[in-house]
Chains A and B, each alone.
Chain A
Amino acid sequence: NAGVMQNPRHLVRRRGQEARLRCSPMKGHSHVYWYRQLPEEGLKFMVYLQKENIIDESGMPKERFSAEFPKEGPSILRIQQVVRGDSAAYFCASSPVGQDNSPLHFGNGTRLTVT
């Protein structure tokens, strides 16, 4: 059973470009979370999605960031007009249910560098 798959592993963008990060949850998981890890910090919650629904986006920056989890295909985290401060590792996690007793399974992350 493949784990949570994220791609690309590394992404370099120039300021002003768009970044698209993809996440395929574990088989049978319908809940996806996105977290951001800034250098030398722990992970911070960004958004929680179920298929075709954004449940909680309280951790998302108000502008330029959006996320989706369509009925078919991976979850996408989209960052428009990237700035240097967006450079970070972005981790996706999935779980079969949105309850406390299901540990989240994390992918290996996408490391975004904005030049």
Chain B
Amino acid sequence: AQSVTQLDSHVSVSEGTPVLLRCNYSSSYSPSLFWYVQHPNKGLQLLLKYTSAATLVKGINGFEAEFKKSETSFHLTKPSAHMSDAAEYFCVVSDIMKGAQKLVFGQGTRLTINP
């Protein structure tokens, strides 16, 4: 079974400074990996997706993530945090079973932006 581990439950940065949200995955084959963002009382929005093409994936709102097979990592970064980035972020791996794209979620990282 595939799984993801988000290494930090809470990250706090100042506005304008870089953001790093860490994620390690476990997979027996080449995984599909995603980052989703969840704003308070809202649904989930797809930030970016890796599916074995380029290892550096660019997403929306200036976020990007790098797939590193040797480290089994898929960390999410952004060069400069904005107040609107404050939200919960989920690293997700896709597990295909019975034709279903079952998503396996990490525990989440709450990102706080300080003015």
Residues of chain A at the chain B interface (Cβ within 8 Å): 4, 31, 33, 35, 41-45, 48, 55-56, 58, 91, 95, 98-109, 111
Once the chains bind, are B46 and A103 in contact (CB under 8 Å)? yes
Contact code string B9-42 (vs A, CB < 8 Å = 1, else 0): 0000000000000000000000010101000011
- Chain A residues, Cβ within 8 Å of B94: 100
Q: Is the CB of A100 within 8 A of B32?
A: yes
Q: Is the interface of B mostly helix, strand, loop or mixed?
A: strand
Q: Which residue of A lies closest to B107 (CB)?
A: A42
CA separation between A100 and B46, bound complex, in Å? 14
14 interchain pairs, CB-CB under 8 A: A41-B107, A43-B90, A45-B104, A55-B99, A56-B98, A58-B97, A91-B44, A95-B101, A99-B101, A101-B51, A103-B49, A104-B103, A105-B46, A106-B44
Asked whether, in the complex, the Cβ of B103 is within 8 Å of the Cβ of A98, the reply is no
Do residues B107 and A100 form an inter-chain contact, with CB atoms below 8 A?
Answer: no
- Bin the interface of chain B by size: 20 to 34
With A41-B108, A108-B43 given, is the CB distance from A100 to B102 under 8 Å?
A: no
Which residues of the other chain, A, contact B51 by a CB distance below 8 angstroms?
A: 100-101
- Closest chain B residue to A9 by CB distance? B41
Residues of A within 8 A of B43 (CB): 4, 91, 106-109
CB distance A108 to B42 under 8 Å?
yes
B42 contact set on A, CB distance < 8 A? 108-109
Q: Which 3 A-B pairs have the closest CB atoms?
A: A42-B105, A48-B100, A108-B43
Residues of A near B34 (CB, < 8 A) are: 103
Interchain nearest-CB distance for A74 vs B (Å): 16
Q: Contacts of A42 on B, CB cut-off 8 Å?
A: 90, 105-108
Task: Tell yes or no: B96 within 8 A of A by CB.
Answer: yes
Query: Do the beta carbons of A44 and B100 come within 8 Å of each other?
Result: no
Which A residues lie within 8 Å of B102 (CB)? 33, 45, 48, 56
Specify which of A4, A58, A103 lies most central, judged by the most chain B CB atoms within 10 Å of its CB: A103
Q: How far is the CB of A110 from chain B (nearest CB, A)?
A: 11
